[in-house]
Chains A and B, each alone.
Chain A
Amino acid sequence: MTTDSSHDGVVHHAPGEHHDHDHDHHGPAYGLMRWITTTNHKDIGSLYLWFSLIMFFIGGAMALVIRAELFQPGIQIVDPMFFNSMTTMHALVMIFGVVMPAFVGLANWMIPMMIGAPDMALPRLNNWSFWIMPFAFAILLSTLFMDSGGPAGGWTLYPPLSLQMGDSFAFVIFAIHFMGISSVMGSINIVATIFNMRAPGVTFMKMPMFVWTWLITAYLLIATIPVLAGAVTMLLTDRYFGTSFFSAAGGGDPVMFQHIFWFFGHPEVYILILPAFGIISSIIPTFARKPLFGYDSMVYATASIAFLSFIVWAHHMFTTGMPLAGSLFFMMSTMLISVPTGVKVFNWVATMWRGAMTFETPMLFAIGFVIMFTIGGLSGLMLAITPADIQYHDTYFVVAHFHYVLVPGAIYSIMAATYYWIPKWTGNMYDETLGKWHFWISTVFVNVLFFPMHFVGLAGMNRRIPDYSLQFADWNMVASIGAFGFGFSQLLFVWIVIKCVRGGKQATDEVWEGARGLEWTVPSPAPYHTFETAPDITKYAVR
């Protein structure tokens, strides 16, 4: 293709000539300032995605320190305090620095193109949302180099332990505040974009599932991040300003922190997975060459998961002791979540049923997601059972559970999304052979890594402890081998991405044979500005 300007009125240059923008006032600026001052949703989306990729390797390196120490029983490599700060920082980096920014990056890139909007609603706010993040993480990571060490009381920051850490505590709290401000600003922007910027004719029930899941996620963020901000502010004032929210000596109660924290924390886990549901709901129909089965039920299922996520938080706290009625309520409401989640899984399977399926890399990751996310969902159902949870609490069974939903769940969805949309972003096809290798190596190692954790967890191995009893030695060695295999195979992903950015087979506008949606009607690579005039949606399928 050379030009394809029929529907957005912008002249596009052939690939290889894209620096040739001398007379084009609408093209990107040059050099570093382009990235610092940009208000373009595609630039900001790319910034978020690169940031997330860098943080993925930082958080991954921390995970490898943990697994190296756990390779054998005993204390071999790191000091226990440093080990504890690795578990804490690994969680904070992976949650706030990898999964959330990656989803925001994908939202920035794709939502305007999916709903036929020229850009995000609030482009300058968008620039701020991103540029707060590097500072927040510079502050957070700098605590590792302070005398008192990084936070080591777990990412949940439970008092009184978290109040006993050194002065880097204040830095951690401020870093969390900055991340929160960034997330809330990003969410406000996404809500405003979806409400006000849809092209004429793109009604709510015509929006792609990715847009729907992000709209609901944005509401979850707006409703819960301020609660986290409140909780950590209380910790800060307890520590430095003499309040006693969580100090029993002054009439407070440390268990109350857990209630406030998990009121944020449980919706947060859906913040980490709902956009993944949207991505998978885009990819599976493309490669099954059938429209998404049960679109309406998908929308309602997403909304009910979001609603239920607010009334299940105390299932993280069964061991703190609560009245029988409380245990029953939180057990039942937690189990209820598996109903809308099951609706989603069955809809994906039904979409594939009798479809003309092909198995390109995005589809492999999507199918891997469906299978392995379901494994994580089932162990979650086990954890929901109050009497069983008292045995499982704080063991490696919990670690296995949430890593199954987050690594072959959320992370796989992000990889699937990257393979799926990267031809649209760069104009080049990625290397399909390497992509398939990446999928299979990752999938073998991710199961070698996390599946044995179920066994050692059920047998009673505690999480967040650098040493363990001898009977857990074999499976821990297996898990550590899986960790290094999975970690290093992600370098292949970086190579594939870089190779694709630098060149490769020219992608067509449609890219995938079965693809539906407005993003596939613009040229590949997507021009710097798209849909400056709204598309005529009678000509194209929106989903």
Chain B
Amino acid sequence: MSDEVRSHRRVVGKTLLATVVMFGFGYAMVPLYDVICDITGLNGKTGRVSAAAIETLSEPTDAAPREVTVEFVASVNSGGAWAFRPSVASMTVTPGELYQTSYFAENLSSTMVVGQATPSVTPFTAARYFNKTECFCFTRQVFEPNASQDMPVTFIIDPDLPVNIDRVTLSYTFFKSPDQQT
């Protein structure tokens, strides 16, 4: 009988351990997902490079200069009292060169709010070649009541961008930050 109890305990112990491990695995999928998104550009998560690191991008080839159209899109998440739009709708750029544009945002409410923008690039395969050296999305933006501001974005497209892509859309969604402490 005690043999049987021992073997029951062994099975229960192992299966309980498996249960706990799989619960942990559910949470482990969170960082794992970020890593996979970084590698594949899934969900349009864009790269961020320091100004110094631009040197490491491959040089534009000597072949005919290539032009890529970058379109800018802005949207506001539900519940946010903001005006939010790009200052230009699109730009024609050459991969490997640094460009700057800006987005305009205005707080339409009469209270102070903290906003946060999240970027997304489509097509997803272009996301990893789209690098921003400076972006208002890197930090939270604090708005006084009814204040407005122009917010700069500096970006560079990696010349390794696949040749079949001639149009890239950069989209920002503006949220009221979950953390309203300034």
Contact = CB atoms under 8 A, between A and B. Distances in A.
Answer yes or no: are A and B bound together in one complex: yes
A380 B56 CA distance: 48
B125 A323 contact: yes
Contacts of A231: 26
Contacts of A121: 8, 11
Contacts of B25: 226-227, 230
B53 interface: no
A176 interface: no
A226 B29 contact: no
Contacts of B29: 227, 256, 259-260, 263
A298 B11 CA distance: 25
A223 B22 CA distance: 6
Contact of A321 (B18, B124, B175): B124
A249 B118 contact: yes
Contacts of A227: 22-23, 25-26, 29
Interface string B5-46: 001100110011011101111110110010001001111000
Interface residues of B, number: 35
Interface in A167-194: 184, 187-188, 191-192
A187 B15 contact: yes
Contacts of A250: 116, 177-179
A249 B177 contact: yes
Interface string B124-146: 11000000000000000000000
Contact of B23 (A191, A230, A326): A230
A244 B175 CA distance: 13
Contact of A222 (B18, B42, B178): B18
Majority SS at the chain B contact face? helix
Nearest to A324: B125
A16 interface: no
Nearest to A242: B178
Given A253-B43, A259-B33, A226 B22 contact: yes
Q: Which of B4, B11, B15, B178 has the most CB of A within 10 A?
A: B15
Contacts of B24: 230
Interface string A237-268: 00000101101111101011001100100000
B77 A191 contact: no
Contact of B178 (A224, A234, A244): A244
B175 A184 contact: no
A122 B30 contact: no
A322 interface: yes
B85 interface: no
Contact of A323 (B42, B118, B175): B42
A222 B15 contact: yes
A300 interface: no
A244 B118 CA distance: 13
Contacts of A256: 29-30, 33
B10 to A, nearest CB: 9
Interface of A: 121-122, 184, 187-188, 191-192, 195-196, 222-231, 234, 242, 244-245, 247-251, 253, 255-256, 259-260, 263, 321-323, 326
Given A196-B4, A249-B176, 12 more contacts: A122-B12, A188-B11, A188-B16, A192-B12, A195-B11, A222-B15, A222-B18, A226-B25, A227-B26, A249-B116, A251-B118, A256-B33
